[in-house]
Structure 1
Amino acid sequence: MATEKLALHVPSLEELCTVLQNGLQESFASVQVSVVECPDLTQHPFSFPVKGICGHPRITDVGGVPYLIPLAQIDKVYNMNTVAKEIEMPGAFILGAAAASSKSLGINAELIPLIWTENKDRCTVNSSYYSTVNMKDQTCVLGKYSDKFSDCDIALLGNLYACQGNPGKVVQIMATKRTGEYSLVTAMRKTLEKQYEKPVAMGGTFIIQKGKAKIHIMPPEFSVCPLNTDDDVNNWLKYFEVSAPLICQSVLVSKDPGLDLRVEHTHCFSHHGEGGHYYIDTTPESVEYLGYFLPAEFLYRIDRPKETHQIGRE
């Protein structure tokens, strides 16, 4: 499993606040970006296994969409403890967006990873969620991973943010009433892309406090017919409108430096049974966001597909 490493441009938190404040004002009626102490993420509604998202932050793009599309390569499975070692941080806390391992679940599903990987003093703590579709009534099924499964695998693809799970200073983003065409994550990414020549990456978590959002969930069965176009993919995926509060985990990078990256990816869970792959809010007039992010110091590209394409990366 080949791993490539890239040092990223890391602006100061104060500089990022100014840049994001100015950029997000083009997409939201009210924006406040500031440096704050990370809240205790072990508390509701996050319920993470660690207190914060600080401590040598880094991101990794594992596998990729070409392992899912046009046909799924189900043998592409990645253990998160191994991933932590590949990114030179055994014991890391890892969050983000990934596909669940069908070898573990028996079905295809979205994964919302929240994993405190093992070290010499501690076993793995897996607080992840998974999301699938009940094909009988076409409803969303969200489950706590550790309630049914004991591994810490992901499959096919993953966009992950890793850190030591410490408290510390973070960038807080409060935004309400979306006025632009972009989601919060896309607006952040495009702002960074416009401002910086070198790649800047961020990861973290945000809550959709009010409003609704569009998500997709992959069906429980992989497509037996090749998905050769974006229309094929869209017809295969199942779409839902879900309600706040939603707790989202996001990874974004301002631009691809030639590593075949997925430049943004966000999954969400809730405490009322809804979750999946987040696109954008569907209630721009009433939506309220509250997020906590940090810039990553390094990017790791793990098991980059040799044959690639740009289908299905929205």
Structure 2
Amino acid sequence: MMIVVNVVLNSPASYPGSIAAISNAKNDDYYMERLPGDDTGITNVGNVLVSEGKPGKVVQIHVKKRIGTISAFPDNIQQILAKRYEGKIVGLGGIFLTKHGELTQHVLESGTTEVTFLYYNMSAPIISAGAIVSSETDLAFAPYHFHGFSHLKSCGHYHFDVTPDEIEYLGYFTPAKVISRVKA
């Protein structure tokens, strides 16, 4: 199961909740399920941004057509941060919209004790949320981690785009004030 977490503290009764992608490996498919608004469960891995949701400064990144060899949008951002802030740890959290093109995302196989990734190509528009850190830390973070969804049509862990001539991303990111790790 892959979850796109959408948690709001003190949320109204109309709050829609998070979305889960649940695999059906027998027919090489998955289905989407909206979780109840009060369901606060999360998988054991994830880079997340915690925000008060107040207006503030953000970094806007809008790109069209991939011309390099790095096919993951957040990977490009992470490498730019690593070069610009060499020797320092900088974190960004936020969202990006894949406006055009296709992505490869994975969903975890359900109903098994083994971790098995099932990969699917998914078409835009897809909204992805997650975080990026500029370089390795002793906190053992992945350099970036994003989950994306599209109105209960597509959901999964973002890997990379597969249509370099068509791809278009629009992202909004905010710098982290604190970077920490929570271990269960």
On whether the aligned pair clears a TM of 0.5, the verdict is yes
Structure 1 position 257, deviation (Å)? 2.4
Identify the match of residue 7 of structure 2 among 112, 115, 122. 115
Structure 1 position 221, deviation (Å)? 2.3
Say what the alpha-carbon RMSD is for the aligned residues: 2.1
Letter in 2 for 1:210: H
The separation in 2 between residues aligned to 1:155 and 1:269, in whole angstroms, is 16
1:130 aligned to 2:20? yes
Report the count of equivalent residues: 182
1:289 aligned to 2:165? no
The Cα offsets for residues 129-184 of structure 1, whole Å up to 9 and x where unpaired, read as 111212342222122222xx742111322211011012233211110100112211
The separation in 2 between residues aligned to 1:250 and 1:151, in whole angstroms, is 19
The separation in 1 between residues aligned to 2:68 and 2:10, in whole angstroms, is 42
Identify the match of residue 102 of structure 2 among 203, 208, 212. 212
CA contact (8 A) 1:140 1:274 kept: no
User: What 5-or-longer segments of structure 2 have no aligned partner?
Assistant: none
Q: Partner residue of 2:30?
A: 140
Letter in 2 for 1:214: T
The separation in 1 between residues aligned to 2:137 and 2:152, in whole angstroms, is 39
The Cα offsets for residues 164-206 of structure 1, whole Å up to 9 and x where unpaired, read as 0122332111101001122110000011011112100001001
Give the alignment of 1:159-178 within 5 angstroms.
159-178=47-66
User: Which structure is larger by alpha-carbon Rg, 1 or 2?
Assistant: 1
- Aligned-partner SS, 2:81: helix
Structure 1 position 302, deviation (Å)? 1.0
CA contact (8 A) 2:3 2:43 kept: no
> What's the TM-score, normalizing by structure 2?
0.90
1:245 aligned to 2:125? yes
Structure 1 position 256, deviation (Å)? 2.4
Structure 1 position 260, deviation (Å)? 1.6
Q: Partner residue of 2:75?
A: 186
The separation in 1 between residues aligned to 2:150 and 2:64, in whole angstroms, is 20
Q: Structure 1 stretches (4+) deviating beyond 3 angstroms?
A: 122-126
Structure 1 position 123, deviation (Å)? 8.0
1:269 aligned to 2:149? yes
User: What 5-or-longer segments of structure 1 have no aligned partner?
Assistant: 1-108, 225-232, 305-314
**Which protein is richer in helix relative to its size?**
1
